[in-house]
Amino acid sequence: MAAESVTDAADIAATVDAVFAAESARIVSAIVRVTGDWQLAEDSLQDAAVRALRAWPTEGVPRNPGAWLTTVAKNRAIDLLRRSAAERRAVLRIAHEPGAGDSAPAGDVAREEESMFDDRQVKDGRFDDGRVDDRLSLIFTCCHPALSMDARVALTLRTVAGMSVETIARSFVVSEPTMAKRLVRARAKIADAGIPYRVPPRELLHERMTGVLAVLYLLFNAGYSSARPEGLIDTALEAEAVRLTRLLVHLVDADGVVDAAGDRSESVALLALMLLNSSRDRARVDGEGMIVPLDVQDRSRWDHDAIAEAVSLLNGVTSELADRGEPAGRYYLQARIAAQHGVAGSADDTDFAQIARLYGQLAAVMPSPMVELNRAVAVAMADGPEPGLRLVEAIAASGSLDGYYLLPAARADLLQRLGRDEEARGFYARAAALAPTRAERAHLQAKTASLRR
């Protein structure tokens, strides 16, 4: 055996992970389509990974590792199917023995065997997967609203993205057995409750597409503000969300069916939004691991290629919406806002009047006090602190953001800019008391120190 084929175990593991990420959705969707058995798909995939980890260090990584993994997983699935068929056969034979209670008619054994191996299931020992790309069915099923949100997120990462259970568990700060149990439960519910494996019919498409986008955005945000102890940003999870959203856009385009009520534009817009938000990752955290506010970030550290791609995607959506006379969706508007920041050379060069208008539109699509607060801040930047403060006070009076630290923080900031330092002091104190992290608290206390005595 050639010496160069013996590769470092860590390299092999990384290769297996990468191949997994690229191929798992295709493999799982093929096995599920044919057998309807999610656990079988998972077990086959696991076995294939274990075999790769065992074989590749000595035999070398195959020239086409994806095809290798696919073949091994499918053969494994066939093995497991044969084995369970053999078990059923044995059970039926035992049931058929004289004196074994309720005996099955002789024909049942043969029929049972036939149905297990009709050629719809297995062709020449291989699955027939030359047909449609089934990964879209996989995504819709993983994001089915009858599953809990936790289960949807976990299942999407495991089966569509091919992420290891260990990595998913770490990203969501739960133990590996807990995450494994969550996945087993989700697969069991799909089977037991009859959750269909398909791209939903037209009348359900819009609602379900909205659900898929919500799962992907949640997944992205779990990376953007990570709960893990090791850091504020989980860039791997963000990248996974971007990759999945790209895949969704690609599949939707290839499918040609999923095009109801602006669903395509919203998936493209979500991709743009993710690209814009993650483009700031390198500037968003300082050397001490503290969050750096947008206005003082080093913009040369932003990922300007990602910003350019997002802006071009958004321009495409803008003309698509205009052509079709469709209203702007929530992801489109949020992405447009993020793009305004993304293309501004500095905080001062930002077109806050435009941002305020976009927040106004967003509030109409997605009414929320958080959107109102952001709009108030943008209005203050565009038209001065006075009109901004009026909006903030209206939100405070409504009580809908009681207990949320950024409301008194924004109020204090605007009061300070109006020279009303005494009033500002009280709101800074309230904000600091409500702040969720030490970093935020320290930031607010520093602002208090800047007030006139």
Partner 1 sequence: MQYMLLIYTDATAPELPDDDRSIVDWVAEIERRGVTRGGDRLRPPADSTTVRVRDGELSLTDGPYLETKEWIAGYDILECDNLDEAIDIASRHTMARHGAIEIRPIWPLNL
Supply 192's token pair: 């037991």
Closest approach of partner 1 to the CB of residue 102, in Å: 9
Q: Is 211 in the site for partner 1 (CB under 8 A)?
A: no
- Nearest residue (CB) to partner 1, 77 versus 190: 190
Window contacting partner 1 (CB under 8 A); options: 189-197, 336-344, 374-382, 417-425: 189-197
Count of residues that bind partner 1 according to CB under 8 A: 9
Window contacting partner 1 (CB under 8 A); options: 11-19, 195-203, 333-341, 382-390: 195-203
- Nearest residue (CB) to partner 1, 193 versus 254: 193
Tell me the one-letter amino acid at 169.
A
Q: How many CB atoms lie within 10 A of CB 98?
A: 5
Cβ pair 324, 343 in contact under 8 A: no
Q: Is 194 in the site for partner 1 (CB under 8 A)?
A: yes
Q: At what angle do helices 369-383 and 406-417 cross, to 10 degrees?
A: 20
Q: Is 293 in the site for partner 1 (CB under 8 A)?
A: no
- Nearest residue (CB) to partner 1, 195 versus 381: 195
- Nearest residue (CB) to partner 1, 162 versus 200: 200
Tell which one of 193, 254, 394, 442 touches partner 1 (CB under 8 A): 193
- Nearest residue (CB) to partner 1, 258 versus 391: 258
In b/e form, how buried is each residue of 11-39, taking b as 16+ CB within 10 angstroms? Answer: ebbebbeebbbebbbbbbbbbbbbbebbe
Q: Is 151 in the site for partner 1 (CB under 8 A)?
A: no
> Which residues, 6+ apart, have CB-to-CB distance to 236 below 8 Å?
167, 171, 223
Residue with tokens 């069991």: 188
Tell which one of 27, 68, 81, 200 touches partner 1 (CB under 8 A): 200
Tell which one of 192, 288, 323, 349 touches partner 1 (CB under 8 A): 192
Q: Is 195 in the site for partner 1 (CB under 8 A)?
A: yes
Window contacting partner 1 (CB under 8 A); options: 118-126, 188-196, 337-345, 376-384: 188-196
Q: Is 196 in the site for partner 1 (CB under 8 A)?
A: yes
Q: What are phi and psi of 227, to 5 degrees?
A: -90, -5
Site string for partner 1, 121-150 (x = CB under 8 A): -----------------------x-x----
Site for partner 1 in 317-356 (CB under 8 A): none
Closest CA to 313 of 273, 350, 268, 354: 268
Window contacting partner 1 (CB under 8 A); options: 85-93, 131-139, 193-201, 343-351: 193-201
| Residue 123, strand partner residues | 126
Closest approach of partner 1 to the CB of residue 146, in Å: 6
Q: Is 204 in the site for partner 1 (CB under 8 A)?
A: yes
CA angle 368, 149, 202 (to 5 degrees): 85
Q: Is 408 in the site for partner 1 (CB under 8 A)?
A: no
What are the distances in angstroms from CA 322 to CA 66, 273, 326, 334? 41, 20, 7, 18
- Nearest residue (CB) to partner 1, 189 versus 264: 189
Window contacting partner 1 (CB under 8 A); options: 16-24, 190-198, 214-222, 408-416: 190-198
How far apart are the two ends of the chain, measured CA to CA in Å? 79
Give the per-residue SS3 of 323-388: HHCCCCCHHHHHHHHHHHHHHCCCCCCCCHHHHHHHHHHHHHHCCCHHHHHHHHHHHHHHHCHHHH
Interacting residue ranges for partner 1, rule: CB under 8 A: 144, 146, 192-196, 200, 204
